């Protein structure tokens, strides 16, 4: 990433959205459409982590991201994301441009942002369009392009030559699926079954945990200094398998991931099956200078407190643990499930049409 003057940054911008989203939403219905969007967001965020991008905004069925490493990373992300979403029976379009942007209160603005968005708008189903500046910068990087001609981008002066990404390393991109096959794949998308009330409580609390962890990581950025040259890292240590348990283990990871895509925090996760292994992982992460070390559960609460006291320059967060009190370098996140369940029930009562 190159900073040319105060408040400005040179970066690669990527816009994507789902083609025909309104029709797909009507076809799937509300619950299945929400499940499709959830899978879309997971695929996008996994791609951003893999290729070093940062999510700036997710507006419904689209994403706006930046890549400070190289334009090639942005193109690889767009291709991988489009191919993965095609497996779900949906197509996205993408537009990629590189340019200098103004940074104001953590958001990017300026004509180059609009240029990237307008480039995406000209793409067809499954197409990834790049501006000539992107194509010129990644010559020889193994990408194939088709010249899409010169265009006027609405609201932007001048003419813009655009190129479609057609191949990577001599592997040609596949065309969109026939509509019949795409519809069949979309038909396989089913939301998780509704579960018993107790599990709903746990899930609601887990969502709250994710939000608080993300907020804690955001506070970390400001405490340590968001403009630091070294990347900040949020590290999770779980005391039980699995990581993707749809409860606190996953909630903490989701919170760190949200902080990663919004505020540029790297994420690490380690699963420990015994106390000695947990202590080794904790020491290793502290040695690696993790900006925030997050632990889960009462079983590791006392060890988290002791480790925080022994390492006053490190920052810690203990989630879902009893008898852990916050200190200057330790945040304690605890919830009362009965209160969350009461609020959910109160809301349901206010919306019921049957008065039951």
Quote the domain boundaries for residue 54: 8-187
Rounded Cα–Cα distance for residues 165 and 174 (Å)? 11
Give SS3 for 310: helix
Say what the pLDDT of residue 118 is. 95
- Specify whether 25 is located in the same domain as 144: yes
Query: Is 352 part of a structural domain of the chain?
Result: no
- Does residue 268 have a pLDDT over 90? no
- Specify whether 158 is located in the same domain as 211: no
**pLDDT category of residue 280 using cuts at 50, 70 and 90:** confident
CA atoms within 13 A on the CB side of 86: 17
**pLDDT category of residue 322 using cuts at 50, 70 and 90:** confident
- Specify whether 31 is located in the same domain as 169: yes
- Looking at the chain, the whole-number percentage of residues with pLDDT higher than 70 is 71
- Does residue 198 have a pLDDT over 50? no
Say what the pLDDT of residue 164 is. 97
Say what the pLDDT of residue 263 is. 58
- Average of pLDDT values for 140-149? 94
- Cα radius of gyration (the chain): 23
- Does residue 63 have a pLDDT over 80? yes
Give tens-digit pLDDT for 122-132: 999 999 999 99
- Specify whether 143 is located in the same domain as 13: yes
- Does residue 177 have a pLDDT over 70? yes
Higher pLDDT, 143 or 338: 143
Say what the pLDDT of residue 242 is. 53
DSSP string, 29-72: -HHHHHHHHHHHHHHHHHHHHHHTEEEEEEETTEEEEEESS-HH
Query: Is 192 part of a structural domain of the chain?
Result: no
Q: Read off the tokens for 295.
A: 């632990």
Higher pLDDT, 263 or 284: 284
Say what the pLDDT of residue 331 is. 86
- Specify whether 329 is located in the same domain as 227: yes
- Specify whether 49 is located in the same domain as 170: yes
Query: Is 300 part of a structural domain of the chain?
Result: yes
Query: Is 163 part of a structural domain of the chain?
Result: yes
- Average of pLDDT values for 333-355? 65
| Lowest-confidence pick of 78-82, 94-98, 146-150, 251-255 | 251-255
User: Rounded to two decimals, what is the model's pTM?
Assistant: 0.58
Query: Is 3 part of a structural domain of the chain?
Result: no
CA atoms within 13 A on the CB side of 32: 14
CATH number (domain holding residue 18): 3.30.70.1230
Say what the pLDDT of residue 220 is. 54
Rounded Cα–Cα distance for residues 244 and 253 (Å)? 9
Rounded Cα–Cα distance for residues 1 and 69 (Å)? 6
Higher pLDDT, 288 or 32: 32
Q: Mean pLDDT in the chain? A: 80
Higher pLDDT, 234 or 282: 282
- Specify whether 182 is located in the same domain as 201: no
Q: Read off the tokens for 138.
A: 């990644």
The DSSP output letter for 300 is: G
**How far is the CA of 90 from the CAs of 36, 38, 39, 84, 173, in angstroms?**
9, 13, 11, 9, 15
Query: Taking a C-beta distance cutoff of 8 angstroms, is the pair 26, 75 a contact?
Result: no
Higher pLDDT, 267 or 333: 333
- Specify whether 146 is located in the same domain as 97: yes
317: alpha, beta or left, given left = phi > 0 and alpha = psi -120 to 50?
Answer: beta
- Does residue 207 have a pLDDT over 90? no
- Specify whether 17 is located in the same domain as 115: yes
Query: Is 348 part of a structural domain of the chain?
Result: no
- Specify whether 104 is located in the same domain as 35: yes
| Lowest-confidence pick of 181-185, 258-262, 297-301, 319-323 | 258-262
Query: Is 349 part of a structural domain of the chain?
Result: no
Give tens-digit pLDDT for 281-311: 888 888 888 888 888 878 888 888 999 999 9
């Amino acid at each position: 990433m190159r900073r040319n003057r105060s408040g400005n940054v040179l970066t690669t911008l990527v816009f994507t959205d789902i083609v025909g989203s309104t029709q797909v939403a009507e076809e799937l219905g509300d619950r299945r459409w929400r499940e499709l969007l959830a899978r879309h967001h997971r695929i996008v965020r996994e791609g951003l982590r893999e290729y070093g991008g940062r999510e700036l905004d997710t507006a419904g069925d689209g994403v706006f991201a930046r890549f400070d490493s190289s334009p090639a990373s942005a193109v690889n992300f767009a291709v991988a994301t489009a191919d993965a979403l095609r497996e779900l029976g949906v197509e996205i379009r993408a537009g990629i441009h590189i340019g200098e942007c103004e940074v104001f209160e953590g958001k990017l603005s300026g004509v180059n942002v609009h240029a990237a968005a307008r480039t995406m708008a000209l793409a067809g189903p499954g197409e990834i369009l790049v501006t000539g500046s992107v194509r010129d910068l990644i010559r020889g990087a193994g990408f194939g392009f088709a010249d899409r001609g010169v265009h006027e981008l609405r609201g932007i002066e001048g003419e813009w030559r655009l190129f479609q990404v057609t191949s990577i390393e001599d592997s040609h991109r596949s065309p969109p699926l026939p509509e019949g096959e795409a519809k069949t794949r979309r038909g396989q998308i089913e939301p998780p079954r509704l579960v018993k009330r107790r599990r709903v409580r746990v899930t609601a609390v887990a969502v709250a945990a994710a939000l608080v962890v993300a907020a804690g990581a955001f506070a970390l950025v400001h405490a340590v200094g968001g403009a630091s040259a070294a990347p900040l890292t949020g590290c999770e240590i779980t005391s039980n398998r699995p990581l993707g348990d749809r409860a606190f283990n996953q909630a903490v990871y989701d919170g760190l991931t949200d902080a990663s895509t919004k505020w540029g925090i790297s994420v690490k996760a380690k699963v420990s099956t015994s106390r000695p292994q947990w202590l080794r992982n904790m020491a290793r992460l502290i040695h690696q200078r993790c900006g925030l070390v997050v632990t889960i559960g009462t079983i590791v609460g006392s060890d988290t407190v002791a480790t925080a006291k022994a390492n006053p320059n490190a920052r810690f967060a203990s989630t879902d643990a009893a008898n852990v009190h916050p200190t200057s370098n330790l945040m304690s996140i605890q919830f009362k499930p009965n209160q969350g369940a009461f609020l959910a029930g109160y809301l349901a009562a206010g919306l019921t049409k049957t008065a039951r």
